[in-house]
A = this chain, B = another copy of it.
Amino acid sequence: MLEDKNTQKTSLADLGEFGLINHITKYFTIENASTVTGIGDDAAVLDASKKQTLVTTDLLIEGVHFDLSYMPLKHLGYKAVMVNLSDVYAMNGTAEQITVSIAVSNRFPLEAIEELYSGIQLACETYKVDLVGGDTTSSTKGILISVTAIGKVEKEDIVLRSGAKETDLIVVSGDLGAAYLGLQVLEREKQVFNVDPNNQPDLDSYTYLIERQLKPEARRDVAGFLKELAIKPTAMIDISDGLSSEIMHICSQSKVGCKIYEEKLPLDPQVISACEEFNLDSTMVALSGGEDYELLFTVPIADFEAIKGNPNFSIIGHITAENQGLNLVTRASQEIELKAQGWNSVKEA
């Protein structure tokens, strides 16, 4: 006899849009005093504040930004929030609210949407942000998530991309390239699975890489570390498209050049061994991998003593005059021009 495997599945059509919204939002609590009214009216109401408001938005689309064959829906929800919070932290601000719009095709039952929102909820709890609105609709194909994050910052604390000055040090939090390699590992396992679904992959030596790809964390802690060190960056950006692409944004908006030192790039041991295995150049991976969601910033050279040796940060280079261009100094002390090979979603698809 055939077993009905779908007994636990609730169709979205039965629930309807408002039923779905009520069902999902009952698990969310409000954490921030600035959230006056969240979901349930035409618009969310946020309290007046002496601080300035930060707004950022990102769109993630199945088949373009993620592959559900290895991205669990809960992780997808978590990551969609992280991508946006990361932009708020890159302004030196505090993220306080998000709106989340999703479109799903009818192939997804309610339980799938619950999984997605459980990841969003975990992100909200962990990062103390409130879900204050959104839209849920059907799609003709696949799933997509559009998140807008709203944050606050004291006017004098804002760090733009445009403030880097000649001789400033270039600093990056954490390490680079792991998320990209995590994607390579997952893509390879997908191919293996397609050939032999019974193969049990041994992913122990890639745990850090896979976690960086599937469950990135936005660097909410960096602002606090910098405050302890009494450092205010002159320019800051988050690394979503790859280090090369991001340093180019800082340099072009600050009208400066830069020197990045290959030997200074922070790499996790798993990145180095996976690069050997995949026959990839680890410097290229660090420069162009993307999705690290680390913060890249510049600080006055006077802060060198304060920041050197701090386990959270790596000094990877310095800002130069604009006419000197953007250069990578290799381990062999050769200077080569930096090229943006960051992930370009319009070009790739």
Which A residues are within 8 Å of any B CB, using their own CB? 12-13, 15-18, 20, 36-37, 40-59, 61-65, 86-88, 90-91, 93, 97, 99, 101-103, 105-106, 132-142, 144, 146, 148-151, 153, 155, 158, 160-162, 236-238, 253, 344-349
Asked whether A55 lies within 8 Å of B88 as measured between CB atoms, the reply is: no
Chain B: CB-nearest residue to A21: B346
Chain B: CB-nearest residue to A15: B346
Asked whether B134 lies within 8 Å of A61 as measured between CB atoms, the reply is: no
Candidates B12, B50, B57, B345; contact of A48 at CB < 8 Å = B50
Q: Residues of B contacting A46 with CB < 8 Å?
A: 52-55
Asked whether B238 lies within 8 Å of A137 as measured between CB atoms, the reply is: no
The CB with the most chain B CB atoms within 10 A, among A20, A140, A148, is that of A148
- A51 to B47 alpha-carbon distance, docked (Å): 8
Given A144-B103, A344-B17, are A56 and B37 also a contact pair (CB < 8 Å)?
Answer: no
Query: How distant is A1 from chain B, measured CB to nearest CB, in Å?
Result: 32
- A229 to B213 alpha-carbon distance, docked (Å): 57
A-B contact pairs, 24 of them (CB 8 A): A16-B344, A17-B345, A17-B346, A18-B344, A37-B160, A43-B54, A44-B54, A44-B55, A45-B153, A47-B52, A57-B99, A58-B101, A59-B135, A59-B137, A64-B103, A64-B139, A64-B140, A65-B137, A103-B144, A105-B349, A106-B349, A136-B346, A138-B346, A140-B142
Given A55-B150, A347-B13, are A141 and B138 also a contact pair (CB < 8 Å)?
Answer: no
Q: Residues of B contacting A48 with CB < 8 Å?
A: 49-53, 155
- A155 to B236 alpha-carbon distance, docked (Å): 34
With A42-B90, A43-B93, A61-B138 known, 20 other A-B pairs at CB within 8 A are A16-B346, A17-B344, A41-B160, A43-B87, A48-B50, A48-B51, A48-B52, A55-B99, A57-B133, A57-B146, A59-B102, A61-B137, A61-B139, A61-B140, A62-B140, A64-B103, A138-B345, A138-B346, A140-B142, A140-B349
